[in-house]
């Protein structure tokens, strides 16, 4: 079996589209609402989750035959907690401002349903390489939804992207006002709902073609 055989490609790509953890499985919504007011923290959050899911998947996949079944959840938690702590420390050291913005939500990755879901559903049954691809796929599937939501929230809520003003000053002078509701989690919920709507409509169309 090649490194990028058809099955492996599916493992990597399905979570981006037809089996997206946020838009299809509706997991990890809590952090998707909390960290998407601006683009930068959303990207950092998405990358952090990607790294953690991928590494945790590999580690658990390597341990899957030695861990007694009864205590597997505890072992998974310890592995995830260790990885989250490492990522959190790295962020504090090299990207302090972002880590302040993300505050507790990096720590709360431990409780992110996507992680435990992938460890239980995939890493416990598959080899390390497949698990790694699955982790990357799910992490990026989570990340793109966050980034799309954050893009619209920051653009319409603050008129900026990455903290830089994109909506021209002339428009503000003409009476344009930032939409305050975009800064609240309400807008994130509506936007996530729109993405789910879009994904479902696409899936339905694909079904009809078959």
Partner 1 sequence: MAFIKNILDKMKPTFSEGGKLSAFGSLFDAIETFFYVPNETAKSYGAHIHDAIDSKRSIFFVIIAMIPAILFGMWNIGSLHYAAIGEATTLFGSFFYGLGVMLPKIVVSYAVGLGIEIAVAQWKKEEVHEGFFVTGILIPMIVPVNCPLWIIAIATAFAVIFAKEVFGGTGMNIFNPALVTRAFLFFAYPAMMSGDKVWVNQSYMDSIGGPSADALTAATPLGQLGAGETVSYDAMDTIIGTIPGSIGETSFVAIMIGAVILIWAGIASWKIIVSTFVGGALLAYLCGDAADLNFQWWEHLTVGGFAFGAVFMATDPVTACRTEGGKWIYGFIIGALAIIIRQFNPGYPEGMMMAILMGNLIAPLIDYCFVQSNINKRMKRAK
Report the sign of the C-alpha dihedral through residues 17, 23, 25, 29, in that order.
positive
CB of 197 to partner 1, least distance (A): 8
The CA-atom distances, in angstroms, between 89 and each of 38, 53, 96 are 22, 17, 10
Map residue 165 onto helix, strand or coil: strand
CB of 72 to partner 1, least distance (A): 41
The rounded distance, in Å, linking the Cα atoms of 29 and 191 is 12
82/194 with CB nearer partner 1:
194
4/197 with CB nearer partner 1:
197
110/179 with CB nearer partner 1:
179
67/155 with CB nearer partner 1:
155
CB of 105 to partner 1, least distance (A): 23
84/182 with CB nearer partner 1:
182
**Neighbouring C-beta atoms of residue 126, cutoff 10 Å:** 17
CB of 209 to partner 1, least distance (A): 20
Which chain residues interact with partner 1 by CB under 8 A? 174-175, 177, 179-182, 184, 186, 190, 197
CB of 153 to partner 1, least distance (A): 12
User: In sequence order, what DSSP letters do the residues of 36-88 get, joined into one string?
Assistant: -SSHHHHHHHHHHHHHHHHHHHHHHHHHTTTS-GGGHHHHHHHHHHHHHHHHH
Residue ranges in the chain assigned as alpha helix (H): 6-13, 29-34, 39-63, 72-94, 96-102, 104-107, 113-118, 128-158, 169-173, 185-209
């Amino acid at each position: 079996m090649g490194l990028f055989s058809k099955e492996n490609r599916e493992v990597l790509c399905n979570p981006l589209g037809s089996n997206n953890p946020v838009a299809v499985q509706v997991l990890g919504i809590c952090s998707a609402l909390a960290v998407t007011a601006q683009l930068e923290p959303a990207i950092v959050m998405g990358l952090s989750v990607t790294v953690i899911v991928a590494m945790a998947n590999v580690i658990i996949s390597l341990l899957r035959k030695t861990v007694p079944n009864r205590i597997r959840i505890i072992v998974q938690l310890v592995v995830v907690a260790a990885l989250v702590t490492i990522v959190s420390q790295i962020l504090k050291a090299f990207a302090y401002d972002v880590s302040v913005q993300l505050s507790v939500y990096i720590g709360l990755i431990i409780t992110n349903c996507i992680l435990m879901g992938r460890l239980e559903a995939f890493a416990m049954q598959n080899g390390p390489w497949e698990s790694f691809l699955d982790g990357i796929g799910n992490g990026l599937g989570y990340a793109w939804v966050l980034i799309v939501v954050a893009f619209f929230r920051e653009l319409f809520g603050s008129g900026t992207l990455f903290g830089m003003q994109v909506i021209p000053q002339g428009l503000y002078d003409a009476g344009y006002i930032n939409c305050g509701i975009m800064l609240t989690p309400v807008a994130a919920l509506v936007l996530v709902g729109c993405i789910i709507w879009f994904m479902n409509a696409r899936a339905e169309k694909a079904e009809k073609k078959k």
